[in-house]
Amino acid sequence: MEQQELQTGAKPEWYEGPGAGEARDRPYFWVTWLSALMVGDITCTLAIWFKAHRQRYKKTDKRGNLNNWKIKHRALLEQIVTHLVMEDTEANVTMEDENSITVWGSKATIGGKPDIIKRVPGLWHIYDGKTGAPGDSDKAQMWLYKWLSLMQDKARKVVLTLVYGEWPGIDVNIENEMALKESATAWVNSLSNPVPPAARPNGKECRDCDISVCPFRATAGLIEISTDEF
């Protein structure tokens, strides 16, 4: 994993300048950042490195799209919870903030927040609602929730279900857990390094990135042209 040619511990000016927020006490990784890295949905590792090491930075204004997503996502979660409670009125069903998981490692912290957990003795059934198209990172995200939850209780059984758009959901079967664990720990170890990785800007990722102070942001969009040659 390529690193910029900077002395260990050195920080580029943009990293410390106005809008760059403040340094975290230790590297922190959100589950969805890791899952996107693990399956190659994110290629600019600098963006994740920055978020892992900085907080309260100035973000680009993406409120319109975000609010629309939040409305659809919240409605989906209510639909899931309603079905779960109808199936079992005695079920212990918790949602979002009540499900926060934080694991402190020797080098970094990993945090996540499963959408919904149905708890019964000896078992957690984790549900995650998705308003978009299915992607490889969805399964990696669900495995990360399982991995982190088992650190609290290794004897616990964990069942995973993804719900795309509407009930019912799709049960997730993970066959390559060792490979996923190796990938997750490798990324955490690499991006906990105080030296930032090289920037790899591209139009799509830069368009979706919320780091407003990044000097490497690609200004060109995706190439779309018309032709009469075919």
Q: How many domains does the chain have?
A: 1
Tell me the CATH number at 106: 3.90.320.10
Structure confidence at residue 1 (pLDDT): 43
* Within-domain flag for 156: yes
* Within-domain flag for 213: no
Q: Is the pLDDT of residue 222 over 70?
A: no
Structure confidence at residue 64 (pLDDT): 57
For the segment 203-215, the average pLDDT, to the nearest whole number, is: 89
To the nearest whole number, what is the mean pLDDT of the chain?
88
Give dist(CA 207, CA 222) in Å, integer: 10
* Within-domain flag for 61: no
* Within-domain flag for 202: no
Structure confidence at residue 3 (pLDDT): 45
Q: Is 165 exposed, middle or buried (0-12, 13-18, 19+ CB in 10 A)?
A: middle
| DSSP string over 4-69 | -S--TT---HHHHSTTS-EE-SS-EEEHHHHHHHHTTS---HHHHHHHHHEES--B---HHHHHHH
Q: Is the pLDDT of residue 9 over 70?
A: no
**Owning domain of residue 175:** 76-179
For the segment 45-74, the average pLDDT, to the nearest whole number, is: 86
- Map tokens 């290629």 to a residue: 43
Q: Is the pLDDT of residue 223 over 70?
A: no
Structure confidence at residue 2 (pLDDT): 44
For the segment 22-40, the average pLDDT, to the nearest whole number, is: 97
In tens, the pLDDT along 153-203 reads 898 999 999 999 999 999 999 988 999 999 999 999 999 999 999 988 888
The model's confidence at residue 6, banded by pLDDT at 50, 70 and 90, is very low
Q: Are 80 and 93 in contact (CB under 8 A)?
A: no
Structure confidence at residue 18 (pLDDT): 81
Structure confidence at residue 221 (pLDDT): 55
Sign, CA dihedral 42-143-171-113, equals negative
Pairing of the two strands 123-130 and 157-164: parallel
The helix or strand, by DSSP H or E, that contains position 78, with its residue range, turns out to be helix 63-87
98-123 as b/e, with b when 16 or more CB fall inside 10 Å? Answer: ebebeeeeeebbbebbbbbbbeeeee
Q: Is the pLDDT of residue 226 over 80?
A: no
How many CB atoms sit inside 10 A of residue 196's CB?
19
pTM of the entire predicted model: 0.86
* Within-domain flag for 210: no
Structure confidence at residue 7 (pLDDT): 37
The model's confidence at residue 224, banded by pLDDT at 50, 70 and 90, is low
Share of the chain above pLDDT 70, in %: 89
For the segment 107-130, the average pLDDT, to the nearest whole number, is: 95
Q: Which residues contact 34 (CB under 8 A, 6 or more apart)?
A: 110, 140, 144, 184, 187, 188
Give dist(CA 85, CA 99) in Å, integer: 17
- Map tokens 């957690």 to a residue: 124
* Within-domain flag for 92: yes
